[in-house]
Amino acid sequence: MMSLSINRAAMRAAAPARQYAIASQSVRFASTKTLKDAVAEVVPAKREQLKKLKADYNDANLGQIKLENLLGGMRGLKVMLWEGSVLDSERGIAFHGKSIPDCEKVLPTAQDIGLSGKEMLPESMLWLLLTGQVPSKEEVKQLSAELASKGKLPSYAEKIIDSFPKTMHPMTQFASAVASLNHDSKFAEAYKQGVRKTEYWQPTLEDSIDLIAKLPAIAARIYHNVFGRGDGVQKIDSNLDLIGNYSQMIGYGDNEGMIDYLRLYIAIHGDHEGGNVSAHTAHLVGSALSDPYLSYSAALLGLAGPLHGLANQEVLGWALDMQKKVGDNASESDIKEFLWTTLKSGRVVPGYGHAVLRMPDPRFSALSRFCDTRPELKNSSIVQLVQKTSKVAPEVLKEHGKTKNPYPNVDAASGCVLYEYGLKEWSYYTVIFGISRALGALPQLVMDRALGLPIERPKSLSMDALEELLKK
C-alpha cells in the first residue's frame, strides 16, 4: 500500500474534473484502492516519463525504414507506444516486465478471493496491465464485485443480439453488439460536453470497465442464441468473479476444471504488445477519439481473421479432420503425412508460426501445463493429438522451409481443452479470445488518452512515388 501523502500528491497532480472527481475519501480511509484510484496514481508518473523522454530523446533514431519493412507488413519497425506488455522474440510476452510464470506466482487467484480455483484471475491481469502493479487480494475482490455490478446488458443490446440470424458468425455478432453499446458511452458524452483533453482518460476508463464487465453477458447470449447452450438468463452473482459468472451463463457453472481453464486462458490472451492486429486496431481507431466501444468493436473484427484470433477455430477443425484421418494413438509418421497434405494444398498449418516469436509460444506452454495437471485432460485423445502434433510439426515446417517460426503459437492449444470440456462449437472459440483481448487493448486506450497521444496517421506512398523517391 502506498503512503497517504503519495496518494494525495498523485491525486492533486491528476487534477480530476468535477464530474469525474475520484472519491478522495476512499483513498484516505479505505485499506484498499479502487482500480480508478490506482490508475489515478499512475497517470502523473506516466505523463512525467513521457515529457522526459521527449525532452531527452525526441531526435533519437530508433532504426531505419527499409523498403522491405514497408512492403512486409511493417515487421520489426518500432513505431508504437504500448505500456502493458513487450514481446521478445526469444522469451515471449512480458506484462509490465513479468513473464507468464512470474504472473502465475504473484497474481491473485480465485482461491485468494475466497472462491475455488488455482489459476490467476483475469481481474488480476487487468489490474497489472492498467497500473503496472500486482494487486492485493482485497483489490481484486473489490474489482470482481465492481465488474459483477456492471455486468448486465441494457435491454436494447439484448434485443439487438437476439435479432441476429443464427447463421451469422459469432464474431460478427460480438463486434456488432459491442459497437451498439456506444449508445451509452460516457466518453462520447463527455466529449460532446467539451470535457478537457487532460481528463479524457477518466470517462475512457469508465467505459472500458463497463465494457469489460459486459463482455461475458454478450458472449453468453450469443452462445445461447446460436447454439442453444446456457440458459440465456443474465443471472450475475455479485459474489462470483468475472469468469465464474461467465461460466454460469454459458452452462459451465459446476465445472471447476473448465472455469479455471477459462480464467487462465482469458488472463494470458489479454495482451501481446501493441502491434498485433486486434490491439493495433483498437489503438488506431481510438486515436480518432472514437470511444472504447467503437475502438474495441473494430479490434474484434481484426481478431476475427484466420491469421490472427480465428486461428483457434481453424486449429480445432483441422485437428478433428486429422483425428478422423489418423485415428486415436496416431503415429508420428501419420501426423507428418497429414501436415504435408495441408502444406502441399497451399494452406497454412493453423496454430503454427508467428510474426514476432521465434520460439514456442509461452502461452502454448502455459496451456499445456494446465493440461498436464488435470487428470480429466491427460487422457483426452484430442488433447494428446494436439500435444503430439506440437512435437512433430516444427520439423515438418523447418523442412518445408518457408515459415520463420516453425513452433506452436497459443492457438495451437487453446481450443482442444474447450472441446474436451464439452464446448464443442468451435466457431465460437474466438469470442472467448475476444473477451480476453479487452484486458490489454482497453488499458492502452486509457493510457493513450492520459498521455494525450495524437491521431495515428502514417505516411503512405504509391509504387510510382516510391520509385521516384528511391531513385533520388
Ligand X SMILES: O=C([O-])CC(=O)C(=O)O
Ligand Y SMILES: CC(=O)SCCNC(=O)CCNC(=O)[C@H](O)C(C)(C)COP(=O)(O)OP(=O)(O)OC[C@H]1O[C@@H](n2cnc3c(N)ncnc32)[C@H](O)[C@@H]1OP(=O)(O)O
Active site residues: 308, 354, 411
Whether the CB-CB separation of 440 and 272 falls below 8 Å is answered with yes
CA-closest candidate to residue 421, choices 250, 229, 245, 258? 258
State the minimum distance, in angstroms, from the CB of residue 408 to ligand X. Answer: 11
State the minimum distance, in angstroms, from the CB of residue 103 to ligand Y. Answer: 18
Nearer to ligand Y, 104 or 314 (CB): 314
How far is 190 from 184, CA to CA, in rounded Å? 11
Nearer to ligand X, 141 or 437 (CB): 437
Select the residue interacting with ligand Y from 233, 325, 402, 461 (CB under 6 A): 402
Stretch that binds ligand Y, among 16-24, 144-152, 349-357, 383-391 (CB under 6 A): 349-357
Stretch that binds ligand Y, among 9-17, 193-201, 398-406, 454-462 (CB under 6 A): 398-406
Nearer to ligand X, 36 or 272 (CB): 272
Conformation bin of residue 73: beta by default, left when phi > 0, alpha when psi is -120 to 50: left
Note the residues at the interface with ligand X (CB under 6 A): 272, 276, 355-356, 409
Residues in 403-432 at the binding interface with ligand Y, rule: CB under 6 A? 403-405, 409-411
Nearer to ligand Y, 263 or 308 (CB): 308
Site string for ligand Y, 156-185 (x = CB under 6 A): ------------------------------
Nearer to ligand Y, 145 or 356 (CB): 356
Q: Which residue is nearest to ligand X (CB)?
A: 276
State the minimum distance, in angstroms, from the CB of residue 408 to ligand Y. Answer: 9
Nearer to ligand Y, 50 or 343 (CB): 343
State the minimum distance, in angstroms, from the CB of residue 169 to ligand Y. Answer: 17
Nearer to ligand Y, 329 or 341 (CB): 341
Select the residue interacting with ligand Y from 30, 307, 461, 465 (CB under 6 A): 307
Residues in 324-343 at the binding interface with ligand Y, rule: CB under 6 A? 343
CA-closest candidate to residue 385, choices 347, 351, 431? 351
Q: Which residue is nearest to ligand Y (CB)?
A: 353
Tell whether residue 354 is a contact of ligand Y (CB under 6 A): yes
Tell whether residue 280 is a contact of ligand Y (CB under 6 A): no
How far is 263 from 259, CA to CA, in rounded Å? 6
**Which of ligand Y, ligand X, none is residue 403 near (CB under 5 to 8 Å by kind)?**
ligand Y
How far is 317 from 386, CA to CA, in rounded Å? 12
State the minimum distance, in angstroms, from the CB of residue 269 to ligand X. Answer: 6
**Which of ligand Y, ligand X, none is residue 402 near (CB under 5 to 8 Å by kind)?**
ligand Y
Select the residue interacting with ligand Y from 108, 122, 135, 353 (CB under 6 A): 353
Tell whether residue 70 is a contact of ligand Y (CB under 6 A): no
**Which of ligand X, ligand Y, none is residue 352 near (CB under 5 to 8 Å by kind)?**
ligand Y
Tell whether residue 351 is a contact of ligand Y (CB under 6 A): yes
Instruction: Name the grid cell of 93.
Output: 510476452
Whether the CB-CB separation of 157 and 184 falls below 8 Å is answered with no
How far is 362 from 92, CA to CA, in rounded Å? 6
How far is 154 from 178, CA to CA, in rounded Å? 12
How far is 272 from 325, CA to CA, in rounded Å? 34
**Which of ligand Y, ligand X, none is residue 195 near (CB under 5 to 8 Å by kind)?**
none
State the minimum distance, in angstroms, from the CB of residue 35 to ligand Y. Answer: 26
How far is 238 from 144, CA to CA, in rounded Å? 8
Whether the CB-CB separation of 366 and 104 falls below 8 Å is answered with yes
CA-closest candidate to residue 217, choices 253, 176, 246? 246
Stretch that binds ligand Y, among 10-18, 231-239, 401-409, 435-443 (CB under 6 A): 401-409
Nearer to ligand Y, 292 or 309 (CB): 309
State the minimum distance, in angstroms, from the CB of residue 80 to ligand X. Answer: 12
Select the residue interacting with ligand Y from 126, 219, 349, 418 (CB under 6 A): 349
**Which of ligand Y, ligand X, none is residue 389 near (CB under 5 to 8 Å by kind)?**
none
Whether the CB-CB separation of 408 and 361 falls below 8 Å is answered with yes
Nearer to ligand Y, 93 or 215 (CB): 93
How far is the CA of 265 from the CAs of 176, 233, 397, 465, in angstroms? 23, 24, 26, 45
Residues that bind ligand Y (CB under 6 A): 307-309, 311, 343, 348-355, 402-405, 409-411
